[in-house]
Structure 1
Amino acid sequence: MTQPPHDEPTASSPEELRAQVEQTRQQLGETVEALAAKTDVKTRAQEKAAEVKEQAAATAAQLKDKAAQAAHQAQDKLPDPLKEKAARIAGQTRTAAGQAGRLWQEKAPEPVRRSTALGTRWVRDNRTLLIAGGTAVLLWLTCRRKG
């Protein structure tokens, strides 16, 4: 046990001493809690991952909005004959995609269709994560190229 510094008075009564002991006990408890929180790597990593995920989702949403705005601006700049042609091509593309889907259902073996459906569902469920990962790769490639 350490002795109090010489310039600090000791407790004058047992009640005061108990109060000092309780205060020291509280401070020690808070210090232990703070140290335990710092050493809990798993929780800190999960918190950081959640933070990064939120930032990535926000960035992905901003990029999606910017891409949509750029597409609308580009579409607005097209002359009317090109707009009509683009609309016609979009309709043909939707028709061809529908035909391809029907053909896929008729010709693809069941295990292949099941695996593809599972993969498609996983992509839909993890869209934000995939967008964030793709964005991170693009940013890394951009920074790497500049450096």
Structure 2
Amino acid sequence: MDQSKTPVPDAPAAHHESGQTPPPPRATSTRDELGRTVEALAAKADIKAQDKEKTAAVKDQTAEKAALVSSQIREKAGQAARTVEDKTPDPLLERAGQGAAAARANRTPLLLVAATALTVLLLVRRNRGRRR
């Protein structure tokens, strides 16, 4: 008998439905493990997805920090306003309040005066520019 040929078992239990013998259990587990490894490597190589995740994380952190800083600024501004109010003499506060009320009551005349002053200033600058 030729030794280069391996004998094929004749037992019907050794054949699979497709006519091939089923892989041994160790080969199946190795194939599954290899599949999981390939999936893990593919996930690591997906740079676009990683960049999107990092961008979202940085965006969230930035929004949180901005909210924190904003609230701190509001708090400090309130403290500064209270300090200025506490240290400013009462007569000065009353005068400032009266001036603000008068300005609110007479907006139209104040705007006309400001517009006139601006026009005169621009005309004077224009005339000086032509003389040079």
TM-score bracket, shorter-length normalisation: 0.3 to 0.5
TM-score by length of 1: 0.43
Question: Max radius of gyration: which structure?
Answer: 2
- Compare relative contact order (CA 8 Å, sep 6+) and give the higher one, 1 or 2: 1
TM-score by length of 2: 0.47
